Structure 1
Amino acid sequence: MFEYFIRPMVPEDIERLVDIRPGFVTDTVFKVEQFEQGWRLVEKKLSTPFDKGAGYDFTPEERQSIAGRLAQDNTLMEVAVEKSTGKIVGILDVEEEAWRNTAWIWNIMLDVDARSHGIGQEMIHHTIGWGRRRGLRAILLETQTNNVPACKFYLRMGFQLVGINTLFYTNQDIERDEVALFWGFPLRAR
């Protein structure tokens, strides 16, 4: 049985993040279809599964950004740790954006072997509670149309699709099947 605990992140954890293997494989993608002045997302089967693999590795630049946020007092930074090995198997990296009274989830990533054990759900619940205690109006995050497992997870957790950016990564995002999707979870009515 996989056992874990979640605790606040400490500076010593930053270099250990490279042990997390947060890639994913999917056999579907959300195709963005443009029509008139709008878009539609249609889930399509791929002829060959898409493997993000090492695409989400924690580069030195990413670890430096995480360390910078960890030093701030307007963040929720947690790691999930496997009890038997002490290995870090997940990260939650959330920053309050006071100018719009929201929380931005920079990272919620789990090792491929740590999924389907409730860690992601627990981290989202921590974020919701943290945001409400701070009086924030919403939680926001971004993912991609090729990360169908993450999109479905956010939907199950009550997030709503609040935006699409077809030029976020390149000028060929639609053709590359990697369009930025923005998700929101309202914490209060206004």
Structure 2
Amino acid sequence: MNITLKYEKPDVLPSYGDITIAFVATSEYHIEPLEQGLGGLLLREVPIERPYTVDYDAEKGRGPERWLNRWDLRNWCVVSAYNEQEERIGGAVLAYDTPGVHFLEDRTDIAGLWDLRVKPIFRGQGVGKAIMEKAVEWARSKECKQLKIETQSNNVAACRFYAQQGAHLGTIERYAYEDKPHLARLNWYIDL
């Protein structure tokens, strides 16, 4: 497949958000502390008895278009992927040096992969990998030392994908989501 990748400004977020981020959770990682955590943490993949659809955009206050009014996006970038018909088929949103975005850890040497999505019919065809390569290129252009990526313990496919792209699991936050205590936040890092 022939893909064209472009860096775009955040004003494209409304059309970027037309691509669904939804996925079906069929398994999840259970975090098992060894020796009360002193022996480390074990991630064990467990099938979900009743698979369910996760759609972050459907949650209150979430979604690309809403980000325009929530943060100062001057240091953000959208990596957009287009097919031969110039149809948007995927992309990623990157954040850098943005006060109030705790995900960036108050660091100016880290970029964050805020969001990545590919149209379902194009998933598994190398679009995500191409987007990731362009995202890494952008983070390097900002002289960042790392690209940070957040996933949840019910997004096993994303965890595997980021690991294949060279990311390593940096932190596990077992109690990150007050409204979803069974989920953990998994923070991945790509050293640049």
If the TM-score is normalised by the length of the shorter chain, which range does it land in? 0.7 to 0.9
Distance 1:25 1:5, change over 3 A: same
Equivalent residue number for residue 25 of structure 2 = 26
More helix per residue: 1 or 2? Answer: 1
1:104 aligns with 2:112: yes
Deviation at 1:87, TM superposition (A): 3.7
2-structure distance, mates of 1:18, 1:100: 27
How far residue 28 of structure 1 moved from its aligned partner, in angstroms, is 1.6
Find the aligned partners of 1:68 and 1:122 in 2 and give their Cα distance: 28
CA 1:71/1:41 → structure 2, altered by over 3 Å: closer, same or farther?
closer
Unaligned runs of 5+ in 2: 98-105
Match of 1:89 in 2: 89
Given the alignment of the two structures, is residue 136 of structure 1 paired with residue 116 of structure 2, yes or no? no
Task: Report the count of equivalent residues.
Answer: 180
| TM, length-normalised to structure 1 | 0.80
What one-letter code is carried by the residue in structure 1 that aligns with 2:187?
F
Quick check: 1:80 aligned with 2:81? yes
**More moved, 101-110 vs 164-173:** 164-173
Equivalent position amino acid for 1:156 in 2: Q
What amino acid maps onto 2:13 in structure 1?
I
Compute the TM-score of the two structures, normalised by the length of structure 2: 0.79
Corresponding residue for residue 181 of structure 1: 186
Once the two structures are TM-superposed, the CA of residue 105 in structure 1 deviates from its matched residue by 0.9
Residues 162-187 of structure 1: per-residue CA shift (max 9 Å, x gap) = 001122111752xx3x2110000111
1:120 aligned to which of 107, 118, 128: 128
Match of 1:51 among 45, 50, 53: 53
**In 2, Cα distance between equivalents of 1:24 and 1:83:** 25
Give the residue type in structure 2 aligned to 1:32.
I
Q: CA separation of 1:148/1:108 partners in 2, compared to 1, >3 Å: closer, same or farther? A: same
For residues 55 and 130 of structure 1, do their structure 2 counterparts lie closer, same or farther at Cα, with a shift above 3 Å needed?
Answer: closer
In the aligned structure 1, how far is the partner of 2:189 from the partner of 2:143?
Answer: 16
Shift of 1:10: 4.5
Runs of 4+ more than 4 Å apart: 57-61, 66-71
| Contact 2:25/2:53 (<8 A) preserved | yes
Is residue 69–residue 95 contact of structure 1 (8 Å, CA) maintained in 2? no
Check conservation: 2:79, 2:134, Cα contact below 8 A: no
Percent identical residues: 21
Instruction: Give the AA of the match of 1:184.
Output: Y
- Give the RMSD, CA atoms, in angstroms: 2.6
Greater Cα offset, 145-154 or 88-97: 88-97
User: Gaps spanning 5+ residues in structure 1: where?
Assistant: none
Classify 1:8/1:149 alpha carbon distance in 2 versus 1 (closer, same or farther; 3 Å): same
Match of 2:7? 8
What is the distance in 1 between the residues matched to 2:21 and 2:71?
20
Give me the whole-angstrom Cα distance separating, in 1, the residues matched to 2:135 and 2:190: 10
C-alpha distance 100-13 of structure 1, shift in aligned 2 (>3 A): closer
List per-residue Cα deviations over 1:67-90 (Å, max 9, x = no partner): 777851x33322223433x44332
